[in-house]
Amino acid sequence: MRKLLLTSAAVLAAAATALAVAQPASAETAAFTVVSSWSNGYQGQVAVTNTTSSTITTWRVELTFPAGTTVAQSWNATQSGTVFTPASWNGTLAPGASTSFGFIANGSGRPTACRINGVSCDGSTPPPTTPPVTTPPPTGTTPVAINGQLRVCGVHLCNSSGQAIQLQGMSTHGLQWFADCYNDASLDALATDWRADLLRVSMYVQEQGYETNPSGFTSRVNSLVDEASERGLYAIIDFHTLTPGDPNYNLANAKTFFANVSARNAAKPNVIYEITNEPNGVSWAGIKSYAEQVIPVIRANDPDAVIIVGTPGWSSLGVSEGSNSSQIIANPVNASNIMYAFHFYAASHKDNYRAEVQRAAASLPLFVTEFGTVTYTGGGAVDLASTTTWLDLLDQLQISYANWTYSDADESSAAFRPGTCGGPTYAGTGVLTESGTYMRNRIRN
């Protein structure tokens, strides 16, 4: 572990790796400069340089500003208040390598102090009058109570304390078809019997979905977010685009929908936005353009939530269309606190898909927002061997996931036996399919 020392003539600030352990002084350096200023603010820049003889894999800059000065926005870093960690592409620095990030400050105050994981920039223990900023301990036992507001740090999903975490949960089926499956009893079972962390709320846009009744489907999504919140579960709001595959077809609908749900749910710490489900037959440039138009709509209301962007080839990082993640790594979405979706179906997608995930995970923050234990059709035999290999890999890489599907659809991917959603019982294994039994046991354990 190493420390980043940030100095300038006027201020001291710092960067460090995210693990709070003792570190040698002056291992790396970073310099703060004012690029431009105006009457009520300025643009600042921090350049981080690895001056050691070893590669570093992450850094953490925490700036302290005087009262009246805040950071309005930043780029080339993941921002949480006045703490900055790498974006998806600039956490690893070879010896002698540098990176930088910038920010816009509201107010004229320059940074007055720095923290390096609780110690001063020079490696000494800070005096008692300036204790490090700490996160209050959790006051509950639910996933949200324990982890709080999530953020992206480097290539990981992290909790409010900056610890990398993995969420495990289930995805709904289309709300237009299986509304009866999402009631108090079924959601209680997901939270307490399955011990899941999240519910993905899958709202189709076409296929008798959102476009047929925008206000009705928006209301239904908000209600399910409330239900997840009451149970301490994280909720992914999935704008479930599939056909047509170009998300730009739904750009106007996406802006309207996400403006509404982000304004309504901005105060909730448990909401994650998935802005396009499975882009297909469209270039990465097209997906990126869509994302860079929709993300600001969400950020205008909810500056802190994690946002997930779909990837080419039905969110396969391009593999299902003969490509790979290189195009995304070379040209990432110009936004902070985002992740990239990956989907797989265990009976259809095997070693070459797993190899690409392992390669991409070194550079991109990934979230498996949908996967099945069966073929990509949602049917066929359950492939427990491939599913286990997949989930072992995701556990190893700390990649979060949601299984398709928490429903009683007449297909082998469904967790419940057909007819279950018409009755009162959802807990236990008696109402579960082979896939549901496996997933419940996997998530519980």
Token pair 């000494």 is at which residue? 124
- Whether 278 sits among the annotated catalytic residues: the reply is yes
Secondary structure of residue 304 in the 3-state scheme: coil
Per annotation, catalytic residue among 227, 274, 356, 370: 370
Task: Give CB contacts under 8 A, 24+ apart, made by 422-428.
Answer: 422/180, 424/185, 425/185, 426/185, 426/186, 426/188, 426/189, 426/190, 426/193, 427/188, 427/189, 427/192, 427/193, 428/193
Cβ atoms of 111 and 3 within 8 Å: the answer is no
- Whether 207 sits among the annotated catalytic residues: the reply is no
Query: Can you say whether the dihedral through the CA atoms of 205, 338, 94, 166 is positive or negative?
Result: negative
* Helices 251-265/214-230 angle, 10° precision: 40
Half-sphere exposure of 123 (CA within 13 A, CB side): 12
Per annotation, catalytic residue among 227, 274, 278, 356: 278
Torsions phi, psi for 15 (to 5 deg): -135, 155
Cβ atoms of 52 and 24 within 8 Å: the answer is no
Q: How far is CA 1 from the centre of its chain?
A: 25
Q: Which residues are catalytic?
A: 278, 370
